[in-house]
Structure 1
Amino acid sequence: MDILKFFFHLFILFPVIYTSEDYCQNSWCSENNILIRFPFQLEVDGDPRPYCGYPGFKLSCTNDGKTVLTLPYSGVFYVRKINYLEHHIQVYDPHRCLPNRLLSLNLSGSPFVTELLTNYTVLSCSTPNMLGSQFTLDCLSNSTHFVSAIPSLSFTNSLPQSCYIIRNFSVPVASSYPEFFLNNFSEDLELTWSSPDCRYCELQDRMCGFESRNNNQVRCFSNQQTGHSQHSLMISRIIILSIGGAMMCGIGIGCVTWFKRRRRTISAEPSIDITITRMRMGLDESTIESFGKVVLGESRRLPGVGHNDGTGCCSICLSEYNSKDIIRCIPECKHCFHAHCIDEWLRMNATCPVCRNSPFPSHSLLQISS
Structure 2
Amino acid sequence: MGILEVLFLFVVSFIFSVIYASSDCQFSFCGSNNIIIRFPFQREDEQNPYCGYPGFNLICTNNSKALLKLPHSGVFYVRNINYLAQKIQVYDPDDCLPKRLLSLNVSGSPFIHTFTRNYTFLSCTFQNEGSQFIPIDCLSNSTHFVSAVPSLNLPNPLPASCYVISSLFVPVAGQEQQYDSNFKGEFSQDLVLTWDTPDCRYCESQQQLCGFDRNNNNQLFCFSYQTGPSQQGIQIFRIITLCIAGPAVIFAIVMACCVCYKDRLANISNIAIARSAPATVLPAPQIVTTGLDESTIESYEKVVLGESRRVPGPNGGCCWICLSEYNSKETIRCIPECEHCFHADCIDEWLRINNTCPVCRNTPSPSPLHVTSINP
Q: 2:223 maps to what in 1?
A: 221
Q: 1:100 maps to what in 2?
A: 99
- Alignment deviations for residues 302-333 of structure 1 (CA, whole Å, 9 cap, x no partner): xxxxxxxxxxxxxxxxxxxxxxxxxxxxxxxx
Give the Cα separation in 2 of the matches to 1:208 and 1:183.
36
Q: 2:179 maps to what in 1?
A: 178
Q: 1:69 maps to what in 2?
A: 68
Q: CA RMSD in A?
A: 3.2
Q: 1:114 maps to what in 2?
A: 113
Q: 1:184 to 1:24 in 2, by over 3 A?
A: farther
- Alignment deviations for residues 336-361 of structure 1 (CA, whole Å, 9 cap, x no partner): xxxxxxxxxxxxxxxxxxxxxxxxxx
Structure 2 runs not aligned, ≥5 long: 1-18, 242-376
Give the Cα separation in 2 of the matches to 1:171 and 1:100.
11
**3-state SS in 1 of match to 2:88:** strand
- The runs of at least 4 consecutive aligned structure 1 residues that moved more than 3 Å come to 18-22, 179-184, 213-216, 226-229
1:188 to 163, 166, 190: 190
Q: 1:28 maps to what in 2?
A: 29
Q: 1:203 maps to what in 2?
A: 205
Give the Cα separation in 2 of the matches to 1:222 and 1:22.
12
Give the Cα separation in 1 of the matches to 2:21 and 2:104.
38
Residue 20 of structure 1: how far off its partner (Å): 7.8
Contact kept in structure 1, 2:41 and 2:52, CA below 8 Å: yes
Residue 129 of structure 1: how far off its partner (Å): 3.0
Contact kept in structure 1, 2:208 and 2:222, CA below 8 Å: yes
- Alignment deviations for residues 203-248 of structure 1 (CA, whole Å, 9 cap, x no partner): 110010011277442110012314997xx99xx9xxxxxxxxxxxx
Q: 2:307 maps to what in 1?
A: none
Residue 132 of structure 1: how far off its partner (Å): 2.6
Q: Quick one: which amino acid aligns to residue 178 of structure 1? A: Y
**3-state SS in 1 of match to 2:100:** helix
Does 2:135 match 1:161?
no
Residue 40 of structure 1: how far off its partner (Å): 0.6
Higher relative contact order (CA 8 A, sep 6+): 2
TM-score scaled by length of structure 2? 0.53
Q: 1:172 to 1:37 in 2, by over 3 A?
A: same
Q: 1:213 to 1:156 in 2, by over 3 A?
A: farther
Give the Cα separation in 1 of the matches to 2:23 and 2:89.
30
Does 2:89 match 1:90?
yes
Does 2:42 match 1:41?
yes
**3-state SS in 2 of match to 1:99:** helix
Q: 1:40 to 1:181 in 2, by over 3 A?
A: farther
Q: Select the structure that is richer in helix.
A: 1
Give the Cα separation in 2 of the matches to 1:124 and 1:131.
17
Q: 1:139 maps to what in 2?
A: 138
Give the Cα separation in 1 of the matches to 2:131 and 2:31.
44
Rg larger in 1 or in 2?
1
TM-score scaled by length of structure 1? 0.53
Identity %: 57
**3-state SS in 2 of match to 1:178:** coil
Q: 1:53 maps to what in 2?
A: 52
Matched residues, number? 218
